[in-house]
Structure 1
Amino acid sequence: MGQKRSRDQAMDDGDGKPGQTTSPYVAMFEGFRKELDEHHDRRERIVKASRDITAVSKKIIFSLQRARNLGQSLPPFIVKSNTQYWETIEKQYRAVSADLQGLNVYRYDRQITGGNQEFVEALTFQHYLETQTLITYEEAKARVAAMGGEEGAVQLAPEDYVLGVFDMVGELMRFSISFMASNGKLPAGKTLQDSKAKEEPPEEQTGDKPETDEPVPAEAKEQQPRNALSDLRELRLRLEMFEPPPKSKFNEEVEKKMGVMRECVEKVEKALYSLTVRGQERPKGWMPDVKEDRWAEVESY
């Protein structure tokens, strides 16, 4: 009877509340619970930010598809409509920048990778439309880091950059096919003659110049503007040379996107064939019919 009373007294915490223990492990497990709660809350914030960045980046890409020039500044209406989207992306990165510091950069890389890839896709697509060049990893990394704000820079993994470039090929395919369906030719940068005409004064342009039958120099031919298909082929060549680490998650994702990337380039090649070869069989002034199979490659996108 005395032993039972002693056990009951040992279970009291001094306030007369039975059922509580003074075991030193309680505080330790309470600390574990707090850390797990913080981990889940942090993870949910990053997942939500990644989804929002993905959704807004898609809106930017959709707006960029309305551009009709290559190698030139974007039209003002596109810049105006996309300004709010870029601000939203910066706000989302700033909201989770504190959660993506130190070891958390690698702990939550799978949660932020979707947003990073979609952002890189939008960033590289806009950069290509404006300059007809591919933005470098260092430039994209600096752009993401600048959005972190005072809490710290958000890191852009090289894997996210590469996968974003793979996705950008699909958007360039859609842009090229839409351009061909509307203009009857591949999108290309400024011609050599146009760039020279802007540099020459008006009196030299209208003055009498002797006509010559000299062939076009080889250097002038090399300076002819690149079109979207030549750039797509160059991208395909470079991406096919890329060798990710074997037996890794990154390698699996690259293999999936590699097949899609090749299909996108082939679609532009087939569309150009349909436009060039089959299009010449039509009379002057003829407009393609969406129901005709031979124009399906151009009009189905």
Structure 2
Amino acid sequence: RIRRDRRNLRQMLSCSSAFQRVAFLLMAPKLKPQRLHQIAETGAEQLVKKARTMSTESSMKDAFSTYADYLNNFNEKRERVVKASRDITMNSKKVIFQVHRLSKDNKEEVLEKAGKDLEAVREQHFSRLMKELQGTDFWKLRRAFSPGVQEYVEAATFYKFCLSGTLSTLEEINATLLPLSEPSVEPLQINILDYILGLADLTGELMRMAIGRISDGEIEFAQRICQFVRQIHRELMLVVPKMDDSYDMKSKMEVMLQSVIKIEKACFSVHVRGSEYIPLLGDDAPTSYLLGGADLE
């Protein structure tokens, strides 16, 4: 009898599934009731464990599917933000080039066109960027749109200085962007870091303008630019050491210092040696020193 029970038990264990084991148990009435109860409990536990495993795998697949959708949407948004930032950069540079055409004869005409171009940058390109970033954690995408914002700040401040001789503050620039935001969503504002980085780039454009104004004989305007750039450099020297993310700013401070030195050297040269060539500034004669002609004998 013991041998027969063992043989029946081996046949039961050789069954491939828990359902077959239960069926075998029903067909084997000669097993002891206690043993039959233990085997039935083991089969039920395996069924529950298998169902639990299938449920866990399904929930994990759903979670990973959600994460995949989020990352795909995030990457697509990032590409759109990069495209908008490039458009802002390109058109802001056009505004800067337009302002550089400024002279004492066409000031109103040049600044009027530059103002219209700057407004077009806001309405056509900056508005696209704001629609993409409103209602999201825009700090995750800051590296994608920061170059365009810095270039826009540079163009806006450069235009304002040539128009009124003053510096556009961060509040003034953000105020011009408020009409582009939807009333129901918190407006996207330019942060202080991008503003300071754009302000650092402004000094390079002012240096080029100062050299150009000296060659046109506008010495006073060049001296005002020199004082203005000095003041910006002095104030930023106090701010940069306290900045957390100051790697980009430190490199720009070195370039800014070079711009200040170039303007100072040009103004100093005019002040010291002005008696040699100031009467010829702006003259059409080929002997003008600053126009690239031969020196006076």
TM over 0.5: yes
Output the amino acid matched with 1:131.
Answer: S
Tell me, in whole angstroms, the C-alpha distance in 1 between the residues paired with 2:263 and 2:189. Answer: 34
Matched residue, 1:278:
273
Deviates further, 135-144 or 97-106: 97-106
- Paired residue type of 1:229: C
Distance 1:155 1:253, change over 3 A: same
Distance 2:216 2:166 in 1: 23
Q: Which structure: larger Rg?
A: 2
Greater alpha carbon shift after TM alignment, 24-33 vs 120-129: 24-33
The structure-2 alpha-carbon separation of the partners of 1:153 and 1:244, relative to structure 1 and needing over 3 Å to count, comes to farther
**Separation in 1, partners of 2:218, 2:174:** 37
Post-superposition offset of 1:263: 0.9
Matches within 5 A, 1:1-16: 3=16
Show the counterpart of 1:25: 60
Kindly state the Cα deviation for residue 29 of structure 1 after the two structures are TM-superposed.
1.9
Are positions 1:175 and 2:209 aligned together?
yes
Distance 1:173 1:282 in 2: 21
Mapped contact 2:95–2:117 kept (Cα < 8 A): no
Supply the distance in 1 between the matched residues of 2:263 and 2:119 (Cα, whole angstroms): 30
Give the Å deviation of 1:278: 2.8
TM-score of the pair, normalised by structure 1: 0.69
Change (3 A) 1:289 1:171: closer
Instruction: Report deviation, 1:58.
Output: 0.6
Cα displacement string for residues 105-134 of structure 1 (whole angstroms, at most 9, x for unaligned residues): 211112111111110001111111111111
The 5-angstrom pairing of residues 75-224 of structure 1 reads 75-80=108-113, 83-149=116-182, 153-183=187-217, 185-187=219-221
Q: Provide the residue aligned with 1:237 in structure 2.
A: 234
Alpha-carbon contact 1:176-1:186 (below 8 Å) kept: no
Partners of 1:117 and 1:160 within 8 A in 2: yes
CA contact (8 A) 1:229 1:265 kept: yes
Q: Which is richer in helix? A: 2
1:34 is paired with a residue whose SS is helix
RMSD: 3.3
Contact 1:173–1:268 (CA<8 Å) still a contact in 2?
A: yes
**TM-score of the pair, normalised by structure 2:** 0.70
Structure 2, unpaired ranges of 5+: 1-13, 20-56, 281-286
Partner SS state of residue 212, structure 2? helix
Q: How many equivalent pairs are there?
A: 240
Q: Is the 8 A contact 2:150 2:198 kept in 1?
A: yes
Q: Which of 62, 70, 90 pairs up with 1:55? A: 90
Range 177-186 or range 144-153, more displaced:
144-153
1:194-216 Cα distance to aligned partner (Å, 9 max, x none): xxxxxxxxxxxxxxxxxxxxxxx
How far apart are 1:281 and its partner, in Å? 3.1
1:256-295 CA distance string (max 9 Å, x none) = 111111111110111112223234235964401666899x
- Look up the equivalent residue of 2:262 and give its one-letter code: K
The partner residue of 1:227 within 219, 224, 227 is 224
Q: Equivalent pairs: percent with the same residue? A: 30
Q: Which residues of structure 1 form unaligned runs of 5+?
A: 7-21, 189-225, 295-301
Task: Determine helix, strand or coil for the equivalent of 1:97.
Answer: helix
2:134 and 2:277 map into 1 onto residues whose CA distance is: 61
Change (3 A) 1:2 1:82: farther
